[in-house]
Structure 1
């Protein structure tokens, strides 16, 4: 195994210390101030019309966050795609394709594409959603392709809350139990925008057990429940197993997501015990040496990257996001205001 494959030894990492505001981060305060001025100036340019946002011929829902790292956006995108496909709309999903190296853009993602080419999240979204998934670092160009060439009725943008070059009709922020961390801007802390932004979006979705509280005014808040399905074999997805079948096995768990500890905790809540946990950086580029021997449990996002070299005892856990009916009512109201007739009576 590679040197990067080391079991977690404690709940606190250097990343956690930075995320929650170790005193040492104050040396980065001048850079955070510079970041503030640059991003503020950019917002002013778009607000005053010096720069213009592209408005595609389909309403856009942006699912993003104000902090760096994964918070659970992908399950929300899948839930929205399933809901709007279920009411008869043609849904397009837009991503910048982070972590992928495609030779051309915009690129329509196939469920057979390699994650190293299109990115792990777009590859997962294409395999799970059954919708058109397009990657393009220039999101406005990708949105135009989805609306004009693929004739999508609604576009769900995976991330891109701060990508003001693309007009949006609905803005959603997904947060986990880390909330805003230290509350400092990059690179001093994890925030891409100040906490004031939470009051301007259309809804906050919390990937947490309980509803958090904030000192400042925020948008309507909703709890998201992640419901785990059966474990699926990475090599042969036709083979599935219940969690109970791993109860007496010696397992290892790996996770290359924004908060690996969240996945490990989920496994524990399912009654599973494992000998080792291997937290990896978000979007980690796996190789065969990263995969432990024996039974290995991982996220679906990890599975799309290791499928080509995983052994036969590797399993991933698909999850579905459940959101309250009034959440969809709120989004439908916004989409109806944007002119999407199919949602007006729902």
Structure 2
């Protein structure tokens, strides 16, 4: 693990408890809270202009990846299967940002659109628009692709300039950490936000023993509009629908793709073929340990695990420094590594599996109701 990634892992570990370091940073967290409250009051006083299209935002409360992208992909697939024509908007983190939004469809250049939008575009075939101001991205998306009738925002929960009809929070095993705001904790906004959203998706939650739908997040309990561990819920211009519904999610490997040739092999067959092969793995994602644990859990012989900074641009190949016979990477890394002609590299593709798949139908109904109200 590189020094920057080691430091990041230690910071996330510190944020899981209320120790002396966190306490020392509380004055700065209060400033964060003040900024968040001012933004919400401003948004309530001057609501974001409504869009002609229903919009769902998929975001998180904590810093770092929680598994939003697979949820976005699953939603896009479901909506298309139900007859919708979804489009995606994103900030395009890591891309070479210009003054105007970028739009595209199909295989996109990660350097221009960002790795996550490029991955979503390839996985779903949906049109994509990127810009730090997601409302401008949505406007550009509609202008370029007039057939789009529903918008999915990849991240943007805190981007209040983007009007939305449905909000989804994706959490992982960290939950809300120590419940404190940045930099004393991992939260971008108070945990009270969990009381306002429509769905909470728990990445990694065990299905057989996961919490029932409508229960609060770990360390947090709903009680008459209040939520312990993050302060009082703030009013919002978006209509409330009662308690959030909570869904368990696991990321299940489905296949491995040879990066150079594009040949795909079903995951069980690929694991059986390479179970005893010395292997390395490289990941530039929010939580690389999850990827490495997936490989180890499959019984693969993982000798080297190289964690790179999230959204790393892969300006130089990291593969030449690895001497293992096989190298596994994630699909998010693959959109940036196509130019590296290393025959050892395989891409592990995953898909989201939910404790209650019918939640996507209920999501679609909320969007359909929102669309009907516009006519």
**Conservation of the 8 A alpha-carbon contact between 1:90 and 1:154:** yes
**Residues 50-100 of structure 1, C-alpha deviation per residue, up to 9 Å, x if partnerless?**
xx3032211001000011111000000000000111122111011010010
Is residue 286 from structure 1 mapped to residue 314 from structure 2 by the alignment?
yes
Write out aligned runs for 1:183-332 (5 A).
183-210=179-206, 211=210, 213-217=218-222, 219-240=244-265, 242-291=270-319, 292-294=322-324, 295-323=326-354, 324-332=356-364
SS of equivalent to 2:327: strand
Q: Which moved more, 1:277-286 or 1:184-193?
A: 277-286
- Quick one: distance in 2 between partners of 1:300 and 1:337? 34
Is residue 34 from structure 1 mapped to residue 34 from structure 2 by the alignment?
no
**Conservation of the 8 A alpha-carbon contact between 1:91 and 1:155:** yes
CA apart distance, 1:104:
5.2
SS of equivalent to 1:339: helix
2:20 to 15, 23, 41: 23
- 2:93 corresponds in structure 1 to 98
Is residue 339 from structure 1 mapped to residue 364 from structure 2 by the alignment?
no
- 1:137 corresponds in structure 2 to 132
- Quick one: distance in 2 between partners of 1:15 and 1:284? 19
**Conservation of the 8 A alpha-carbon contact between 2:55 and 2:150:** yes
Would you identify which runs of 4 or more consecutive aligned residues in structure 1 move more than 4 Å?
A: 5-8
CA apart distance, 1:283:
1.2
**Residues 142-191 of structure 1, C-alpha deviation per residue, up to 9 Å, x if partnerless?**
11122344121100000000111011000000011111112110122110
**Conservation of the 8 A alpha-carbon contact between 2:103 and 2:129:** yes
Q: Relative to 1, partners in 2 of residues 1:59 and 1:142: Cα closer, same or farther, differing over 3 Å?
A: same
Q: Relative to 1, partners in 2 of residues 1:18 and 1:284: Cα closer, same or farther, differing over 3 Å?
A: farther
**Conservation of the 8 A alpha-carbon contact between 1:6 and 1:278:** no
- 1:83 corresponds in structure 2 to 78
Length, aligned pairs only:
334
Q: Relative to 1, partners in 2 of residues 1:14 and 1:6: Cα closer, same or farther, differing over 3 Å?
A: closer
TM-score normalised to structure 2 length: 0.83
- Quick one: distance in 2 between partners of 1:248 and 1:27? 48
- 1:168 corresponds in structure 2 to 164
SS of equivalent to 2:336: helix
**Conservation of the 8 A alpha-carbon contact between 2:103 and 2:144:** no
SS of equivalent to 2:168: strand
Q: Which moved more, 1:221-230 or 1:238-247?
A: 238-247
- Quick one: distance in 2 between partners of 1:62 and 1:110? 20
CA apart distance, 1:319:
0.8
- 2:68 corresponds in structure 1 to 73
Q: Which moved more, 1:273-282 or 1:72-81?
A: 273-282
CA apart distance, 1:316:
1.1
Is residue 61 from structure 1 mapped to residue 86 from structure 2 by the alignment?
no
What 5-or-longer segments of structure 1 have no aligned partner? 342-346
**Conservation of the 8 A alpha-carbon contact between 1:109 and 1:135:** no
